[in-house]
Chains A and B, each alone.
Chain A
Amino acid sequence: MPNAQTIVLNARALERTVARMADEIVERADGTDNLILVGIQRRGVQLADRLARVMAEHGQAAVPRGALDITLYRDDLQTVGPRPIVGKTEIPWAIDGKIVCIVDDVLYTGRTIRAALDELADFGRPARIMLAVLVDRGGRELPIHADVVGRTVDVPPGGRVDVGVTEIDGRDEVTLVIAGEAS
């Protein structure tokens, strides 16, 4: 039986969802004065860019952005191999006393966010850290939750959520993939 694919968000739905998330983040951060968006490599970075663009369109001041690659903070490096490629981490602003909103595409076990929290702590002490994710698919292995969620998806065992963004994947799309029995 082949894999079954269901589109969760098409390009337009994804755009609407991002717009709503942007508003929600601004709401929660009480404006953008103290806000820094930090995207997690990869795709989280592009989502953070889009959120910032929407915020600007909605009349907010330009929001500083950063990128975080959590590879070096992963808790499974001793067991994976060969080594995952390390991406760029770029936090060009002092984060002390700021509201940092971590942006990622999918929230699943929570381990990536755990790593991101550890990594952010090495850059300084924000007043508050928030988490915004495009998709929350459940299945947490750590006590972590998102403050802003684009879409909650129930994923059956063996299933997977794929997020595509135009910059990397050529199109904006969120799909739910349910593995066939033979896979």
Chain B
Amino acid sequence: MSAPLGKDLLGLEHLSAEQITLILDTAEPLREISERAIKKVPTLRGATVVNLFFEASTRTRTSFEFAEKRMSADPVNIATAASSVTKGETLVDTAKNLEAMRIDMVVMRHQSSGAAQFLAERIESNVINAGDGTHEHPTQGLLDMLTLRQRFGTLAGKRICICGDVLHSRVARSNIWGLTKMGAEVAVCGPRSLLPNAIEQFGVQVFTRIEQAIEWADALNILRLQLERMQGGYIPSLREYNRVFGVTRERLERAPRDILIMHPGPMNRGVEIDSDVADGPHSVILDQVTNGVAVRMAVLYLLAGNAPALAEAAKGGDR
């Protein structure tokens, strides 16, 4: 089999189109498991997965937990509002302590960019990045791609615009990497104060007006606008943000084509997205949530027990 993923999933930047396709192709059939009477397969029986969340997250943690349970792994949740630093224990020590308890995988959300890689380099267990600082959130990028692929059949040539606070968004980075590798055309749209200075170097188009994005796109991935951005002086007010950058029905009605609406959640209704858009006929926001579980099951499956030594061991089944 080609393009195995290696030990960890840290981001999409360093994955190939082939590896991304493998994850999406694996996720596709796994969706069905959640429709069964008994929503569980025995694949990861006996595997212990630690969900190590240094940042509050209901949605991603829950999605991972569903995925783990549906694969029959044993999840252990460690949520710590306080960072490792303020607790006095370093991330290395936390990780080593966990490993001493014989775990198999760590799913980590951390406020520092690079924390997942840092951990992955120091422990033997598989590490899945569930969001590191403003770096990457690979499973979100994958579930967004799975959702788009289901609707469009292919990602190649499709025009996806990521709207909002790209500067602080790990979701945006994972989307940009993943989608461009898969041959989609990617744009970003938002106030320049919320776009990285070097954004053009990512190979994306840049729109500073939402109307232009709507004119151009086949799908909009609308990012959550964190309330802190106002205090940080990046934008004057949420009210004005909605008036200038909000995705509203009126604006979408002027689009030359139907536009798929995505949002990684949680939504600020009335800020970056209006309710009649979020709940409208072209919204696939709930499909994203469903696909999130399947994508995470796929990643767990593909990484679990992925020890290089075993890589070329027995193949094939019953013959």
Cβ-neighbour of B1 out of A69, A85, A124 (below 8 A):
A85
Chain B nearest Cβ from A147, distance in angstroms:
17
Cβ-neighbour of A82 out of B1, B33, B41, B319 (below 8 A):
B1
Cβ-neighbour of A106 out of B30, B298, B302, B318 (below 8 A):
B318
Determine whether the beta carbon of B301 is less than 8 Å from that of A79. no
Chain B residues whose CB sits within 8 angstroms of the CB of A69 once the complex forms? 29
Chain A residues whose CB sits within 8 angstroms of the CB of B40 once the complex forms? 122
Determine whether the beta carbon of B301 is less than 8 Å from that of A81. no
Chain B residues whose CB sits within 8 angstroms of the CB of A161 once the complex forms? 319
Q: Is A76 an interface residue (CB 8 A)?
A: yes
Residue of A nearest to B38 (CB): A122
Binary CB contact string for chain B from 253 to 282 against chain A (1 if under 8 A, 0 otherwise): 000000000000000000000000000000
CB-contacts of A64-88 with B (<8 A)? 69, 72-74, 76-88
Cβ-neighbour of B311 out of A74, A78, A82, A160 (below 8 A):
A82
Given contacts A72-B42, A82-B4, contact A77 B30 (CB under 8 A): no
Segment of A18-26, A29-37, A53-61, A107-115 in the binding face: A107-115
> Mostly helix, strand, loop or mixed at chain B's interface?
loop
Interface residue count on the B side (C-beta < 8 Å): 33
Chain B nearest Cβ from A43, distance in angstroms:
11
* A118 to B319 alpha-carbon distance, docked (Å): 20
Q: Is A123 an interface residue (CB 8 A)?
A: yes
Q: Is A17 an interface residue (CB 8 A)?
A: no
Q: Is A175 an interface residue (CB 8 A)?
A: no
Chain A nearest Cβ from B200, distance in angstroms:
37
Residue of B nearest to A111 (CB): B318
Given contacts A69-B29, A89-B32, contact A76 B314 (CB under 8 A): yes
Binary CB contact string for chain B from 158 to 199 against chain A (1 if under 8 A, 0 otherwise): 000000000000000000000000000000000000000000
Given contacts A80-B314, A122-B38, contact A86 B305 (CB under 8 A): no
Given contacts A83-B301, A124-B37, contact A108 B318 (CB under 8 A): yes
* A107 to B43 alpha-carbon distance, docked (Å): 22
Chain B residues whose CB sits within 8 angstroms of the CB of A77 once the complex forms? 43, 304-305
* A123 to B37 alpha-carbon distance, docked (Å): 6
Q: Is B18 an interface residue (CB 8 A)?
A: no
Given contacts A83-B1, A84-B1, contact A90 B307 (CB under 8 A): no
Which residues of B come within 8 Å of A, CB atoms? Answer: 1, 4, 22, 25-26, 28-30, 32-33, 36-38, 40-43, 71, 298, 301-302, 304-307, 310-311, 313-315, 317-319
